[in-house]
Chains A and B, each alone.
Chain A
Amino acid sequence: MSADRERKAAKIRHLLETEGDAVFENTTHVNEGRYETNAHRDDIEELRDASRAIKEDAIERLPELIETVRESVEANGGEVYVADDAADANRYITEVAESKDAETLAKSKSMTTEEIDVNEALEVAGVDVTETDLGEFVVQVADEAPSHLVGPAFHKSTEDIAALFNAHFDPDEPFESAEDLTQFARDHVGEKIMDADVGMTGANFVFAESGTIALVTNEGNARKCAVTPDTHVAVAGVEKLIPSVDEFPPFAELIARAAGGQDIATYLSLLSPPVDSPVVDFDAPDEPLDGSTDDREFHLVLLDNGRTEMREDDDLRETLYCIRCGACANSCANFQHVGGHAFGGETYTGGIATGWEAGVHGLDSAAEFNDLCTGCSRCVDACPVKIDIPWINTVVRDRVNRGTDAEFDWLVEGLTPDADPGGVDLQKRLFGNFGTLAKLGSATAPVSNWLADWGPTRAVMERVAGVDRRRDLPAFQRETLVDWFDARDPLPAAGDADREVVLYPDAYTNYVLVDRGKAAVRTLEALGADVAVAPCHESGRAPLSQGMIATARENAERVTDSLDPYLDAGRDVVVVEPSDLAAFRREYERLLDADRAERLAEHSYEVLEYVYGLLENGADADALASGGDVAFHSHCQQRTLDVDVYTEAVFERLGYDVVTSDVECCGMAGSFGYKSEYYELSVDVGETLADQFAAEDVAERELVASGASCDEQLESLLPQAATHPVELLAPE
C-alpha cells in the first residue's frame, strides 16, 4: 500500500476504534427520531420544497438583502459589519471586545465562528472565551475540534466525558452519569455567562427586513449569551439572510426534525438586538431593573469568506442553502461509523462539508475527506433543503482530480480509455473504467480471473492501484448476457406481446452477474413482455463515483445513443442495477441535453418496479416462482429513488415473507470497499448489515440484494451468498 493510503487507513482504523462506537450510537439515535418525527407529518415534501425555494430566492437576492439588513439593524440601534474573510472578521470582533475592555466572553454554538477560529483570535487579544453549548464546552475542555455540525461531541460517550471532566476538574465526587455531567457543566458555564463582558452567538437565520436573528437551541444558552451581557456580537455567514419573518415557518418546522428528530426545537428565539430587556447586575440582586439606563450594543458580523464566489459557482451554489442541520452526516453510513474527525475538513463535517470546505478553505481541505462520500445518495432524502450533496462531492472530486499529478499513468493507458485528463489518480482511473476492464476480463476468462487472483498480481494491484488484497475480485464470465441472449432461439410470442422492453445490461450484469440478467429476461418474458437486450455500455456510474465527469458524460451519451432507437420504437427500458437507474434518473440531467435525459428517465424502470407494473396490469403472477422466507437488502440509491417498495410489494404479492434491512448502505458502494485505504471502514459498515441478517429468525432466510456491490459485501461477510430478487422469481 502506498504511504498516503497507509496513512489514511491508519487514521480511519484509529477513529473506528476510539470514536466509532459513540458516533454510531449518537447518529442512530438521531436518525430514529428523524424518521419518526417526519412520519408525524404528511407535508414534509411541501415544506422541503418551500424551504428550498426560499433559499434559492434569498441567495439570488443576497446583495439586496445585505443592504436591507444593514438599514434595519442600524435603525434598531445596532451595527452591521460585512467581513471579507476570517482575518477581517476577527479584527472587527477583537476591536469590539477591546473597546469594551472585555476580559471575558460567553459564546453559544456557532460553526461560523469555528470557521474563522475566533476563539484563538480573542485569546490572543486577552479575552477569556467560554463555550456555553455543552457539546462545544466538552470539545473546548478536550481541546478538540467539533466532530459534527450539531453534536460537536458526538464522538464521545458519557464515559469518555466523565473521564475527561474528572481529570480536568478534579471534583470531590467523581462524575459518572450524564445527569452529573450536565449539572456540573450547567453551573460552571452558567457562572461564566453571568460574568461575561461580551456575549457572542451565531444565527440560524437572519431576517433582513426587521434585523432579527433567529436562534434555535434546546439548552437555552444562546438567548442567555445574547441578552445577559450588555454587548452582543452575532456572527453569521451572509447566506443566513432570508427576507423576513414570513419566510421562517417552514424552517421552524424542519430544522429540529432534521437535526435532532424533534418536532420542534425547545427554543426558537427571534431577537432584534439591541434588545429592550434590562441588563441584570448579578452582584446587586436587590436593585430594581431599569432598562432605560442601559447602554446595550449589538454588532452583526456577516461573513463572506468565499461565499460570494460560491454564489457565482453553478455547482457549489447549492451549498449556501445549507441550514447546518447535520442530517447529511447522520444519514451517511460512512459517517455513522467513522465520524467527523475523518469525514470532515478544517471546520465542517459530513456530506455537505465538501461544499463548505471547498468554498471557504479551498480544495485541499475538501480533498482530504471527499472520497468518504460514496455517492450512496441517502443524504439526498435527509436534506431539508434538498441539496444534491452527492453531486457537490462528485464535482469537487473532479476538481481535485484535475489538480493532481500521477506517476503511473502509462500503466493504465489502453485499459482506461477515459475522457478525463492525465493526472487523475491511477486508482480512480482503474475503477472509473470498470466497463472496459470487465469487457477484457470476460473476453479472456477464466484466465483473466486466475491471473487477477494470482498472489503477485494482487500485490502489484495493491501497491500501484490500491486494490485491497483482502477483497475477492469479481469473477468475469466468458459468456456475457448479450452473447447468451443473441444465441437463444426467440420465443414464439415475441412480436405480439403486450409490452415491449429493452433490458439495459450494465457491465456487472453483462460480464459478472450474468445469471441475474438471464433471470430478468425470463421473468419479463413469463409475464408477457417482448424483451430485447441493448448493447453493453458503461452508464457513467463508475467514472462518476471517481469524480471523472468528462468520462461519465461521454458514457452517458453513448448509452443514450444506443437506447434511443429502442425508445423511438416505443420500448420501455428495464434496468437491473439500481445505481445505473439512479444515473439515468438523477445524474443524466446534469450530463445530457434536458430533452434526452428527460425521455430516458421517464421511460426507465428498475426490473422489479417493472414486474410490479406488469402484475398490476393483469399479467399472470402464477407464471413466477412463489412463496418462501426472504431477507432483503435494498440498494441505497434504489431507496433514494423510492423504488425499493416495488420489490417488497412483488414479494408480498407472490406470498413471500420478507424481512428488510434498515441500514442506509451496505458499505461496499461500488469501488469504495476495494480501495485499500477504505477497506476496513467498508467492512465495519457492512458488519452492521451482516449482523441484521445473521440474527435469529433471519439467518435461515434466502438472502437477496438488489445491487451488485451489496451482493459482494454480503457474500464476503456472511456464510450464505445473496442473489438478486429477480433470480428468486424467475421461472425455470
Chain B
Amino acid sequence: MSLYPRTHVGVVRASDLHADVEATAAWLHDEFDAGRDSAVLATGASATADMGELVHGVHGPQDVHAVVVTDR
C-alpha cells in the first residue's frame, strides 16, 4: 500500500525506533523467530538516477514523512 500514493506518512512510536541497521537486525531476528515472514525497510522517497540524474518520486512515493509519537 505504501508504494502507490505519491505521499507516504508513516506514524511510529518513539519506543519502536532502532538506532541503526544492527539494532534493526536484532529486532528482525526476534520477529522472524516469532513467525513474521515479511518486512520492508524503507528509508526515504523512491529515487532513480537511471535517466542520468537523481530524481525523487519513481514507482514509490515522492514525499515521505515520518511522524514519531513521543508520549506513549
Chain A residues 98-118 with CB under 8 Å of chain B are none
Inter-chain CA distance A271–B39, complex, in Å, is 7
A248 engages B58 (CB within 8 Å): no
Chain A residues 136-181 with CB under 8 Å of chain B are 137-138, 151-153, 156-159, 161, 177-179, 181
Closest chain B residue to A276 by CB distance?
B38
Inter-chain CA distance A157–B51, complex, in Å, is 7
B1 engages A267 (CB within 8 Å): no
Question: A29-46 interface mask toward B, CB cutoff 8 Å, 1 = contact, 0 = none?
Answer: 100000000000000000
CB distance from A532 to the nearest CB of B (A): 52
B52 engages A245 (CB within 8 Å): no
A→B interface (CB under 8 Å): 22, 26, 29, 76, 132-135, 137-138, 151-153, 156-159, 161, 177-179, 181-183, 185-186, 189-190, 193, 210-212, 218-221, 223-224, 244-246, 248-249, 252-253, 260, 264-272, 275-277
Inter-chain CA distance A220–B54, complex, in Å, is 15
B38 engages A266 (CB within 8 Å): no
The number of residues on chain B lying at the interface, defined by a beta carbon within 8 Å of a beta carbon of chain A, is 33
Q: List 11 A-B contacts (CB under 8 A).
A: A134-B48, A151-B50, A159-B52, A178-B55, A179-B55, A181-B51, A219-B47, A219-B58, A220-B3, A269-B40, A271-B38
Q: Taking the complex as formed, is B70 at the interface, i.e. its CB lies under 8 A from any CB of chain A?
A: no
Closest chain B residue to A76 by CB distance?
B37
Residues of A within 8 A of B22 (CB): 249
CB distance from B67 to the nearest CB of A (A): 19
B→A interface (CB under 8 Å): 1, 3-4, 21-22, 25, 28-29, 32, 37-55, 57-61
CB distance from A603 to the nearest CB of B (A): 39
| Extra contacts besides A178-B52, A179-B55, A189-B59 (6): CB < 8 Å | A135-B50, A178-B54, A219-B47, A221-B59, A224-B3, A264-B21
How many A-B pairs have beta carbons closer than 8 Å: the answer is 129
Closest chain B residue to A194 by CB distance?
B4
Checking A26, A245, A277 against B1 with a beta-carbon cut-off of 8 angstroms, the contacting residue is A277
Residues of B within 8 A of A212 (CB): 37-38
Residues of A within 8 A of B38 (CB): 212, 269-272, 275-276
B32 engages A182 (CB within 8 Å): no
CB distance from A22 to the nearest CB of B (A): 8
Residues of A within 8 A of B59 (CB): 132, 186, 189-190, 193, 219-221, 224
A161 engages B51 (CB within 8 Å): yes
B52 engages A161 (CB within 8 Å): yes
Most chain A CB within a 10 A radius of its CB, from B3, B46, B51, B52: B51
CB distance from A3 to the nearest CB of B (A): 37
Residues of B within 8 A of A223 (CB): 3, 40
Residues of B within 8 A of A224 (CB): 3-4, 59
Inter-chain CA distance A138–B50, complex, in Å, is 8
A134 engages B51 (CB within 8 Å): yes
Residues of A within 8 A of B4 (CB): 224
Closest chain B residue to A227 by CB distance?
B3
CB distance from A209 to the nearest CB of B (A): 8
Inter-chain CA distance A134–B49, complex, in Å, is 9
Inter-chain CA distance A161–B51, complex, in Å, is 7
A268 engages B48 (CB within 8 Å): no
Checking B37, B44, B50 against A133 with a beta-carbon cut-off of 8 angstroms, the contacting residue is B50
